[in-house]
Every structure is written in structure tokens, then in C-alpha cells.
Structure 1
């Protein structure tokens, strides 16, 4: 990323800080705003603006008390531009004029932002409702019950070339994104390991099965989701990491975890059923006993004892009523 203006004089900074103080910006907020003004590139997207999906992480990084406090400070200093959606009811991003030029969207006073707008901003991902949760990327408009398919955030006209469609290129990019995370020990420990821990704790799984749940979540849910988002291809790796982190913190992220847990259970149940079917179809020595295809263990069913293992050296079970006598090592 390259700023529009790569140098700024001390005099300009002093003048800017002086204006902020006149606008009632507190001493504690000034250095935070300076960071944003000069450019926190890890929280910018490819258009060099701070998108709404990164507001929560910016708030944490700069230690604002709430996300609304962050936006109020940015708004009140009057040095940043805001970008709103088409009906101008919701903020979609803000930017520093040192990094992005969009004068038509710049807001210079409080009346430019409609009353009540800050209420759409989350304090934490978990505390917002389904209606107002900006991290719930499947929510359309103000209806929490009207969901979009994973093929897009917002419906567009059929003639639009910006529709969110999975392409071979976007699918490959999404796979590569998660491959890079898995290859980086720090990113893996920060993002993937906590998910494995969650599956292991909440589902009571072994580590192996928890890892299988994660593989299912990545391959069946996360990769298709990101591959279907048009803006994914425009984001760099850092922006994608912020996006993924915010998604996992959101209500929709919890929904994905639950879906992955349910999918993992179904796969294990299906595998167990197939294993039982294979066992019951495999009786090479006698029609009255079965042999496990994987372990080679012989067994039969008993009304009182349940499944009874048969020693390897035993003769084939002669009838459906025959019982293996462990003392005489014979069928009785």
C-alpha cells in the first residue's frame, strides 16, 4: 500500500492537533486518531479505507472503550471521510485523506450523519442483535429472518458484473489463503488451534475428531464462503485475516461452528453405520459369525452377552445357537 501523501510536516501535524483540541478531542484520543490519520494499514482494505468489518479490531487495537466511542472520535475531529451505503443510512467505511481521495463522501459536520446511526455499530460481536449486527454478513436490510445464500452479501441485478459468484480463481485463492494460515505457526496458533480446542471442549471429542471437525469447517464452509465474496479477491492477506477474525467472533461465526460440529457428528455416525454394515456383510468362515474387515476380529451376537469375540483359532461357529465356552475352548 502507498499513501497519497507520503510526507507531512511537523507544522501541519501541530495545526491538525490544535484543531482537534478545539473540537473537544481529549488528550488520550489524539494519539489514537493520529495513528488512524497517518495510516494503520493492517486494518485497511485494498481501497485504503477502514471498512466496517474492521471497526471492532481497530477499537481493540487502539483501546477505545466502545466501537461507538471510536466512531464518535473519528467523526468529531472532522479530519476523516466517511463512506455510506446507497441509502446513506449506514457507515460502510471511513478513511484518512492521506490514504484515500473521495471528497464526495467526506463528512465535515455532525449533521451529515443521520441521527441514530452510531447505534448500528457493535460494542462487541456477541452483544449485538441479529438485526443490527454488522458482522452478520448474511443479514439483509433490517430483517433478521431474511437470509441470503452464501453466494453473496447483497443481491445485485442480473446484469451486474459484481455479483458474488464462485470462480475457479476465487476458489483457488480461498484454498491458498487457508493453506498459508496453516503453514504459518503463529497464524495457525491464533486462528485454527482455538477452533480445535472449541470442538474438543464443547463436543467432548478426541483431538483427532476435533481436527476432523476443523477440516470440515474449512473445506465445506469457510472456503466456499470466502470464494463466493467478490471483495475477497480485492483484499490482501492481512485484510483477509482481519475479515476471518471478525467473522469467527460474530454470531454467524458461531453458526458456522455449530454447523461444522453437526456435520462432523453426521460424518462420524455415517462412518460408524458403514462400518457396522461392512461388519455384518462380512462372514467368510460361517454364516453364524462375522469378521471385522479392519481388525480381522471374529465375533457373534448373544442375547445375554451382546457382542462376543471369538478366538482366532476357534472352529467356525456351527449354528446360530452355539455359544463359545471360554473354559473348554469349544462351541457348546
Structure 2
């Protein structure tokens, strides 16, 4: 097969009309590269805002979108030692982030942003940019691990590791938050979840959430969450996906020496009630920006997924590669629960 199907994002500020489905040559393998027949992709909020021109980090256009992919190795370069034909693999979000702390060069190696991503039938990746897929998961489930899962794992274990018996707060029902719930419960933690929907709240309880707070009916949910912790001392870890719009409530419920891991800005970036820097001092807490994680951290996470037989929560709606634009629109309309996937092969 000499040609394949792929999607590209032509540029920013074109909205989803800038997503173009096209034929392209199957990429050739270099000495240290691996050719992967991609079987599934999952979408992140980041994928939606890139064509809308709302992404805060650099992008190269035109670009094949999507950081999260899983598939099967069909060819390896002569210098490749980690993989062989037939191996099941998943993509690493920042291809250059191998272990330890991220550095500036590694931030410029993101799939679907500055390097061609996974929304195509075949992809060539440096062997450093892949990990062996979780053996207990399907390709669709493995395709959800690269960004949302690894971000949650990094939030809970990358700086100040979560301990059994501690309390974790997750916001909403997006991929990062649900993975955070699953990882926290596997570690023996108590989980408080926030949501705007009582119906979604019931789903969160079925996934193991110990307490669910509807932030629409309880706008001071931070104080409510604090009262749910032992002796009202506060929450040990918060997976903060709302950004400025929810940070005030996160400060209201964080424990002394607790960690607020800032993941995103779903609640907007211009909230007038945005806390000040000195709130970290008055609350004696750590506020940390998290940019996914390293290959070593992803391999550690996959071992935990296998050991605990954790299965990602995948939306019941599955799209084909040709339907990718419809998948973007479906997710933008917030019709999904958990991770939204696209089946390729």
C-alpha cells in the first residue's frame, strides 16, 4: 500500500472547516523509526481548540492532528531495538520527554501540535516516541492513554505521590478527571467529584466516587468539599481542569501542603474571581502546571493499569476515520462521557 487516508488541520482560526480529509503517501521508515498501522485514536479538548485558534501553545500548520493513538507495528528501522513487527503500541504525547522533568526542547515535540499526530491510517514515529500498549486493553482503550491518562497519573504521582487514605477531588466528567478518579480509587483514596449534572453524578458514583457535588446547585462547592474531609482539613490532591473559573473554589478546599494540579481552562481564562499568587501562601499549598508526562511515567502508569485491570471509560459513540469532523463536533457539543474514540483499522 503506497497511499493512505489522513486528516490535516490547515491552520488556526478556521474552526472545524479547517479539518481536511486527504490522500497521502505512507511514510517511509528511517533507521531509528517504527511504522505503525494505527487502529484507534482518541480526542482531547486540545484537539478541538487547535483549529479554533484557542490553543495556548505553539503549533505547526498544516499538521496531522491528535496526540493519542494506538496500533500495531508493521515495520522497524535497522537501529530499532525496543520494538518488533506485531507489537501493540501507544503513542507518547511529547516525543522528546523520556524521563524526569520536562525541558524546553521536549515541549516542542508534541504530537498533533508540532509533530504530525495519529489521525491517519499509518504513522512513522521514532522508537523513543512509543510505548508498549497495556496488555489488558483493546486498541480503542489504549488510544486514550497518551494525554488524559498520563496527565492524571502525573498529577497524582509526578511530584508528591498520592498515598492510601488521602482525598482527591476531580472536576467534571472529562477524560482527565475520570482517569484521576480511577487511579485514586485503585490507590485506596477517597474521591470527591464535581459535576453540573445529576445524571452524570450517578455515573461518577458507579465509577467509585465517594461524594458527588453538583456545582450548578452548590456554587460554593469548595467549602462543601472541605467539610467532607476528615476533621474538615481539606483535600490532598485536586485535579484542576476548570482553570481561573474554578481556582477560587479549589483554594477553598485544598489542605495545607496539598497539591492543585492545573490541567486546563474549561471554565474560561478571564474569570474575574481569579485568585492571586499570594493565595498559595495563605493556603500553604502547591499549585502546579502539568504538561502530560514522560515515557518512563507512562510505562509506570501502564504497569499499574495492567496490575489493577483498570479500563478507561470510553463513550459509547464510536466514529470512523472518515467521520472525524463529526467526532470533533460531537465532542464540542459535550455529548460525550469519558473518552471519545475514532476507530481506524
* TM-score, normalisation: structure 1: 0.28
Structure (1 or 2) with the greater helix fraction: 1
User: For the pair shown, which has the larger CA radius of gyration, 1 or 2?
Assistant: 1
Structure (1 or 2) with the greater strand fraction: 2
